[in-house]
Amino acid sequence: MLPIFKYIHICLFLSALTAPSAVQPVPLPAPGGHEQTSVQHVPLPVPIDGKTPKQVIDELIEENLLREVGKYKPTPEEKHELSKKLSLSSEDYGASYTNPVVSRMDGSGEYEGRDDFKVNKKDLVIKTFNTDNDRYGWRTSIAAILGEVRALRKVGDLVDFGTNWEDKSVIIMRRKDGLYLTQLGDFLSSKPEVQQKMVEKALLSTCTKAATIAFEHGVWHNDNDLENVLFHKSEEQVGSVVDHMKLVSYPTLIDFGEFYNYFVEPQVVARAKEYQGIFIEYCLSQWRPNWLVDLAELNIHLKLE
């Protein structure tokens, strides 16, 4: 069982991340007609008492109560939808970031997504996938692509999906603003003791935000690499003395793709009060070492408790 002070600390912090999001969900139809519209309180086969967070999470995965986004089982209808040609050209692709290639959408005007929903092109990104091995051996399965489509739909970030003029699978999603923690000038210029407090706060904020999304939308973002978490100054902080703790208290999570992310079954969502702290504690234990290693590569050497 986890120390009670940790749960008190986590529970007190949960209320700090309830600020409403500026992004409203895109009204899209349920994929294949199998979205859950209600949650029933169904007993779980996984007891919590006396087990570590890792043991609880591992058993939820084993019982298929947490299902990997990358192992999603799409319907024939969803596969057919993915083959739809989108009205994209090479001119729509702006600066690229990663592989699979994530590009800012270029051009002026609006993009018309599903359900005739229109979004300014400058507010979108295009994620392009290789479904066959490229020269580096990188490929993404159709199941993983449609798993990400479903995850993005659930959290309200999906705009469209299909194929481009090269017959490559693409997802069009809302672009998120912000900077990595390691890009924040207020973090880089702070003394080590302040940096340590900021990293601790940022990590707890990230894990809490991920758990909040999990129990509100049924998708657990557990791919919490430093480059999948964005922070930004609020308008009240611009040109004023920065509250370093507030600066890292409201993260934006990006990349709901195939790795480390999970769909949360309704039986688990129904017991959010019991499981939310477990999710947070698991996330902290899994990602703390990764963050420390990544920071050390930038010559920022910290030690988190």
pLDDT in tens, 172-209: 999 999 999 999 988 999 999 999 999 999 999 999 99
Residue 11 has pLDDT above 90, yes or no: no
C-alpha angle with apex 158: 153 to 163, nearest 5 degrees?
Answer: 115
Torsion angle of the four alpha carbons 104, 113, 178, 277, in this order, in degrees rounded to the nearest 10: -130
159 and 267 in a single domain? The answer is no
Residue 118 pairs with which residues in a beta bridge?
112
Q: Would you say residue 35 lies in a domain?
A: no
| pTM of the complete model | 0.81
Closest C-alpha to 141, from 88, 74, 221, 67 = 74
84 and 61 in a single domain? The answer is no
Which residue among 113, 142, 174 closes a domain? 174
182 and 169 in a single domain? The answer is no
**Which of 62-76, 161-175, 236-250 has the lowest average pLDDT?**
236-250
User: Structural domain of residue 50, as residue ranges?
Assistant: 4-30+43-71+178-297
pLDDT in tens, 12-68: 444 433 333 333 333 333 333 333 333 344 445 556 778 999 999 999 999 999 999
113 and 188 in a single domain? The answer is no
Look up tokens 């507010």; give the residue. Answer: 123
Length of the chain: 305
* Cβ atoms 114, 159 nearer than 8 A: yes
The reported pLDDT for the residue numbered 93 is 85
Burial per residue of 205-220, b for 16 or more beta-carbon CB atoms within 10 angstroms, e otherwise: bbbbbbbbbbbebbbb
Establish how many alpha carbons lie within 13 A of residue 231's alpha carbon, considering only the half-sphere containing its beta carbon: 25
Burial group, residue 134, by CB count within 10 angstroms (0-12, 13-18, 19+): exposed
Average pLDDT of the residues of the chain:
82
User: What's the rounded mean pLDDT across residues 264-279?
Assistant: 95
Q: Would you say residue 209 lies in a domain?
A: yes
Confidence of residue 3 (pLDDT cuts 50, 70, 90): very low
pLDDT in tens, 115-146: 777 899 999 999 999 877 555 556 789 999 99
152 and 278 in a single domain? The answer is no
20 and 94 in a single domain? The answer is no
96 and 237 in a single domain? The answer is no
Which residue among 141, 174, 207 closes a domain? 174
Q: Which H helix or E strand runs over 249? A: none
* Cβ atoms 205, 250 nearer than 8 A: yes
Gap between the Cα atoms of 226 and 291, Å rounded: 6
C-alpha angle with apex 167: 67 to 86, nearest 5 degrees?
Answer: 85
Retrieve residue 58's tokens: 């591992």
161 and 280 in a single domain? The answer is no
The reported pLDDT for the residue numbered 5 is 42
What is the tally of structural domains in the chain?
2
Confidence of residue 92 (pLDDT cuts 50, 70, 90): confident
Residue 220 has pLDDT above 80, yes or no: yes
Gap between the Cα atoms of 192 and 290, Å rounded: 18
Gap between the Cα atoms of 90 and 126, Å rounded: 11
